[in-house]
């Protein structure tokens, strides 16, 4: 009875170890298949294990998070300002809305510019007339000084009347064309533009005299 029990014991151990070895082989085969199905990183060198995503991205993050020195930051800031100023000068010359100064941007300001550029304004010739009047007033002749005084009064009254009419018409047209746009300051912006001769105005005029804006 003891011999049979010992024999049965050995048989049982053999069966247990055999089943475990079969299970180990099956698990190893399954793991090998699983590893073969995983996509290989094309940047990983052959014969080496594929790096984890976190390990592959760490160099990129370190480069992106690298802080510039104060000198490099000042240099970049200066270059950005120079580029912005260059674009702004070009925009003032060709009317590119993207790079115009804030005071000149928007459809309301553009229409106001075109409105005064398409019309004759007495204020445009204020400076040349002021120089002539000043020269006449400096001549020690009573009649010429009186003429200079009358001319000065005439110029001032003419500019005030012309500016008032222009401002009233422009305000009315802006209210009709741009009821939902911000129009504050547009009339004053246009009247200040009339004080400059047309060829000297910035942004450069985009319409000719008599042309409808």
Task: Dump pLDDT digits (tens) for 1-34.
Answer: 444 444 444 444 444 445 445 555 555 556 554 5
CA 74 to chain centre: 20
> What's the pLDDT score for residue 2?
42
> What's the pLDDT score for residue 1?
44
Residue 90 has which token pair? 């070009």
Residues 6+ apart with CB under 8 A from 101: 88, 92
The domains of the chain are located at 73-105, 106-213
Report residues of the chain scoring pLDDT below 50: 1-17, 19-20, 33, 35, 37-39, 41-45, 62-64
Residues 6+ apart with CB under 8 A from 175: 183
Burial class (CB in 10 A: 0-12, 13-18, 19+), 195: middle
Q: How far apart are CA 115 and CA 103, in angstroms?
A: 17
> What's the pLDDT score for residue 50?
57
User: Whole-model pTM?
Assistant: 0.62
> What's the pLDDT score for residue 81?
84
């Amino acid at each position: 009875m003891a011999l049979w029990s010992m024999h049965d014991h050995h048989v049982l151990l053999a069966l247990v170890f055999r089943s475990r070895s079969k299970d180990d082989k099956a698990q190893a085969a399954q793991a090998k298949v699983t590893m073969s199905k995983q996509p290989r990183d094309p940047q990983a060198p052959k014969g080496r294990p594929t790096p984890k995503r976190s390990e592959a991205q760490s160099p990129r993050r370190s480069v992106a998070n690298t802080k510039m020195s104060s000198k490099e930051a000042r240099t970049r800031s200066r270059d950005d300002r120079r580029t912005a100023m260059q674009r702004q000068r070009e925009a003032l010359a060709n009317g590119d809305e993207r790079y115009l100064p804030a005071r000149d941007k928007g459809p309301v300001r553009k229409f106001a510019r075109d409105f005064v550029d398409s019309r004759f304004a007495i204020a445009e010739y204020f400076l040349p007339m002021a120089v002539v009047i000043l020269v006449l007033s400096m001549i020690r002749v009573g009649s010429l000084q009186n003429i200079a005084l009358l001319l000065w009064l005439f110029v001032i009254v003419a500019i005030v009347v012309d500016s008032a009419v222009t401002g009233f018409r422009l305000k009315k047209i802006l209210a009709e064309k741009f009821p939902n746009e911000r129009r504050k300051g547009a009339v004053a912006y246009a009247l200040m533009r009339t004080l400059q001769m047309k060829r000297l105005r910035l942004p450069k005029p985009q319409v000719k005299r008599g042309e409808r804006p």
